[in-house]
Amino acid sequence: MLDLTGIDAVERPELKHLVTQSASRIENALVLAQAHSLMVRLNWPGNTLGSDADGIVCLDADGWITAANPIARQMVPQLVTQQRATVPTTANPVHVSEVLGISFELLFDAVHRSDAVLDIPLWNGLRLQALPVAPAHESQTLHADQRSSARGGMPLRDIEAALIRKAVDQARGNVAQAAQALGISRATVYRKLGQKGPKTDKTL
């Protein structure tokens, strides 16, 4: 809890902005804590994906929406009443194909593309850009691949670095996003790749 009140204190816009940012990050963390097989970042065309300003929608393996943050519910109003993370026990879960004009298979397939950003139509005629991201638990697959390749004689450190670099490439250079997908910290990504942390997440 952050208390910004005071007696006869002048309102400080910068503190309101800080609270807004903190609340957004907490909301996003709660959404990502829901069980999911795919996380999809949403934003309007022309905006850069990968920030706290993104709408976030989480899907299970069959394309049913398990969670969505408030920004996503503003972008896609149908999520307000039909998205089951709002009321986890709701009897009317919604499928992603009911609110986005795309099949869930295409969203899952895009994770493995070099350019994973998709242009998605909404049923109201507007369009969104979407970035599907594999969840953190796929880091288990990362470790399994490391053990398998290590048996072939390649040094484990090199295997690990190659897999981490691949995750960064899939995230289009966004280290924070790659670290989240792998279930590790940004500092670990830099350390494993033997590089110092850059001034921005876009540089590696």
Give residue for tokens 């994973």: 116
Q: Does pLDDT of 96 surpass 60? A: yes
Q: Does pLDDT of 156 surpass 80? A: no
Are residues 140 and 125 part of one domain? no
Are residues 180 and 151 part of one domain? yes
End-to-end CA distance of the chain: 35
133, 150, 184 - which closes a domain: 133
Residue 5 pLDDT grade (very low, low, confident, very high; cuts 50, 70, 90): low
What is the distance, to the nearest Å, from the Cα of residue 112 to the centroid of all Cα atoms in its chain? 15
The pTM for the full model equals 0.56
Q: Is residue 202 part of a domain?
A: no
Are residues 79 and 147 part of one domain? no
Question: Total domain count for the chain?
Answer: 2
**Mean per-residue pLDDT for 178-204?**
67
Give residue for tokens 């989240």: 180
87, 103, 133 - which closes a domain: 133
Are residues 48 and 120 part of one domain? yes
Most confident of 5-19, 106-120, 135-149: 106-120
Q: Which one, of 59, 64, 63, 71, lies nearest residue 32 by Cα?
A: 59
Are residues 142 and 98 part of one domain? no
List the domain range (segments joined by +) for residue 166. 136-192
Q: Does pLDDT of 42 surpass 60? A: yes
- What's the confidence (pLDDT) of residue 128? 92
133, 152, 172 - which closes a domain: 133
Q: Does pLDDT of 79 surpass 80? A: no
